Amino acid sequence: MDKILIHGGHPLSGSIKISGSKNSALPILAATLLTREPCILRRVPDLSDTHYMLQILMHLGAQVERASGTVTVNAETIESIAPYEVVRKMRASVCVLGPLLGRCKEATVSLPGGCVIGDRPIDLHLKGFEALGAAVRVEGGNVKVFAPKLIGAIVSLTGKFGPTVLGTDNVMMAAVLAEGITVIEGAATEPEVVDLANFLIKMGAKIEGAGTRRLIIDGVKELHGAEHDVIPDRIEAGTFLVAGAIAGKGVTIKRVVPEHISSVTDALTACGYQIQCAENSITVSPNGTAQPIELATEPYPGFPTDMQAQMCALLSTTDGISVITENIFPQRYMHVAELKRMGAHMQLEGATAVIQGVERLLGAPVMASDLRASAALVLAGLKAEGQTEVSRVYHIDRGYEHLDEKLSELGAHIERMKG
């Protein structure tokens, strides 16, 4: 099993390009199942999660070609069953339910299982399918949905912790081929949902309101092939901005949409870092002494839960007391125990982390528990004295395209040890 070794204390400078968005690419790849015609997708990131999604598409009968960051999918004939051995590696595989139901009027997809950052049920997805007229059965670890035809309806997707992104994606993909008009109330507004909607519109779907809490979908009889460029990954962008804040003399990220991560740049500005935004680039630089802050994760456009762990790493050496409250996944603090091994002073009070900044972190062997926790440990290693060894880096490979290589380009002393 691979490990990443970081020799801390080496300042970062220079620029890197941000990859295409993982959380856009996965549902967009699933959406190619909605048409018999070929689709061409560019800027698909080279990640284990996208590899798994391509395997699922091939298992369902699609022909897939990949050349660098461009993927061509031809789903002329497809099956409607995705068994456990295919979907078990990735929770996002559940987003094939919507397009399979939309096109085949039935789907059987194995439940992907639990997630280390807490319970992430798909009950809102199923509620949306039922509203469109589908019968839903959960048996033997499988979700079965089927309908003679789908009829447009009013669907509410507001959940306990805010709107569901994958649920919005799934119901939208089913509704584009339903008869009549579907209104999704409480829709997620994330840029990744807008990106999927834009791809579906290129395929011939009729969708209004993407990026708002109310989506209006006028069903069509069929969709055609399309070409699309996946948007930049805002969480990768935010992670590199925090890397620049933790250990940088001036780091620029290119090929980014600044408005997608304004909550992150606002937080860094509040901490005392200098942020300069251009049309498609952002530079972060030190600007005197960093300040502690209070932060709470919220649905978009609020501060993203996927950036919470990285901010914990940054604030661990920021003088004073910082407070972070996790409102989306209250259990998402697996990284705290590992950061403490490096000398961080953090206390958990329910869904809130109270962080007392320390003067220095010390390198240590640490274990990644999930994707964003892994990134936080790597960032802490950039700052720490001595060597940090991060194990279970397959988590990193799920969502960051060549993270170690990009950090090396910026001057980090980092290497991957093959396990």
Q: Cα–Cα distance between 145 and 122 in angstroms, integer? A: 13
* Closest residue by Cα to residue 277 from 241, 312, 301: 241
Strand partners, 183: 154, 216
- Read off φ and ψ for residue 176, nearest 5 degrees: -65, -20
Task: Report which secondary-structure segment, H or E, holds 28.
Answer: helix 22-31
* Closest residue by Cα to residue 176 from 207, 155, 153: 207
115 given a catalytic annotation: yes
Concatenating the DSSP letter of every residue in 128-178 gives HHHHTT-EEEEETTEEEEE-SS-B--EEE-EETTEE-HHHHHHHHHHHTTS
Among residues 39, 95, 115, 312, the one annotated as catalytic is 115
Q: Which two tokens stand for residue 34?
A: 């909605």
Q: What angle do CA 190, 195, 201 make, to 5 degrees?
A: 130
Q: Cα–Cα distance between 32 and 65 in angstroms, integer? A: 13
Total residues belonging to the chain: 419
Lookup result for tokens 């099956």: 79
Q: Cα–Cα distance between 410 and 13 in angstroms, integer? A: 5
- Read off φ and ψ for residue 74, nearest 5 degrees: -120, 105
Q: Is the dihedral of CA 356, 359, 363, 364 positive or negative?
A: negative
Cite the active site residues: 115
